[in-house]
Amino acid sequence: LAKYRPARRLLDALDMLRQRALGWLDEMGALEGLVRLRAELPAGWLPILNYHRLHPDAEGQAFDRGVIDATPQEFERQMRLLTRHFTPIGVGRLADHVTAGVPLPDNPALVTFDDGYRECFTQALPILRALGVPASFFIPTRYIGERRVFWWDRLSYLVRWSPCDRIALSYPTSLELRLEGDRQKAIVRLLGLMKSTYDLDVDRFLSELAASANVRWDATLERRFADELCMSWDEIRALKRAGMEIHSHTRSHRILQNLRPPELRSEIAGSRDDLIRELGGPVRAIAYPVGRSVARHPEIARLVRASGYELGFTLGVRRFGPAPHPLDIGRIAPDRGMAPCLFRALLVHPALAV
Is the Cβ–Cβ distance between 79 and 105 less than 8 Å? Answer: no
In the complex, the smallest distance separating the C-beta of residue 246 from Zn ion, rounded to whole angstroms, is: 14
Between residues 97 and 251, which has the closer beta carbon with respect to Zn ion?
251
Between residues 76 and 115, which has the closer beta carbon with respect to Zn ion?
115
In the complex, the smallest distance separating the C-beta of residue 81 from Zn ion, rounded to whole angstroms, is: 25
Which range, of 28-36, 110-118, 164-172, 219-227, touches Zn ion by CB under 5 A? 110-118
CA distance 244 to 249: 16
In the complex, the smallest distance separating the C-beta of residue 181 from Zn ion, rounded to whole angstroms, is: 27
Between residues 115 and 274, which has the closer beta carbon with respect to Zn ion?
115
**Cβ neighbours for 149, distance < 8 A, ≥ 6 positions apart:** 63, 143, 157, 222, 225, 226, 229
Between residues 31 and 286, which has the closer beta carbon with respect to Zn ion?
286
In the complex, the smallest distance separating the C-beta of residue 289 from Zn ion, rounded to whole angstroms, is: 5
C-alpha distances out from residue 12 to 21, 38, 66, 177, 343, Å = 14, 28, 20, 28, 19
CA distance 186 to 181: 10
Handedness of CA 133, 134, 135, 139 (dihedral sign): positive
Binding residues for Zn ion restricted to 221-280, rule: CB under 5 A: none
In the complex, the smallest distance separating the C-beta of residue 148 from Zn ion, rounded to whole angstroms, is: 14
Asked if 26 touches Zn ion (CB under 5 A), the answer is no
Between residues 289 and 324, which has the closer beta carbon with respect to Zn ion?
289
Is the Cβ–Cβ distance between 309 and 284 less than 8 Å? Answer: yes
User: Residues in the chain, how many?
Assistant: 354
Which range, of 36-44, 108-116, 195-203, 258-266, touches Zn ion by CB under 5 A? 108-116
CA distance 18 to 54: 26
Between residues 113 and 343, which has the closer beta carbon with respect to Zn ion?
113
> How many CB atoms neighbour CB 64 within 10 A?
21
Between residues 127 and 315, which has the closer beta carbon with respect to Zn ion?
315
Between residues 69 and 115, which has the closer beta carbon with respect to Zn ion?
115
In the complex, the smallest distance separating the C-beta of residue 113 from Zn ion, rounded to whole angstroms, is: 9
Using CB under 5 A, count the residues that bind Zn ion.
2
Which range, of 89-97, 109-117, 124-132, 192-200, touches Zn ion by CB under 5 A? 109-117
> How many CB atoms neighbour CB 176 within 10 A?
9
Which residue in the shown chain puts its C-beta closest to Zn ion?
A: 114
Asked if 69 touches Zn ion (CB under 5 A), the answer is no
Asked if 64 touches Zn ion (CB under 5 A), the answer is no
In the complex, the smallest distance separating the C-beta of residue 325 from Zn ion, rounded to whole angstroms, is: 20
Binding residues for Zn ion restricted to 156-185, rule: CB under 5 A: none
**Cβ neighbours for 74, distance < 8 A, ≥ 6 positions apart:** 54, 336, 337, 338
Interface with Zn ion (CB under 5 A), residue from 26, 64, 74, 114: 114
* Interface ranges with Zn ion (CB under 5 A): 114-115
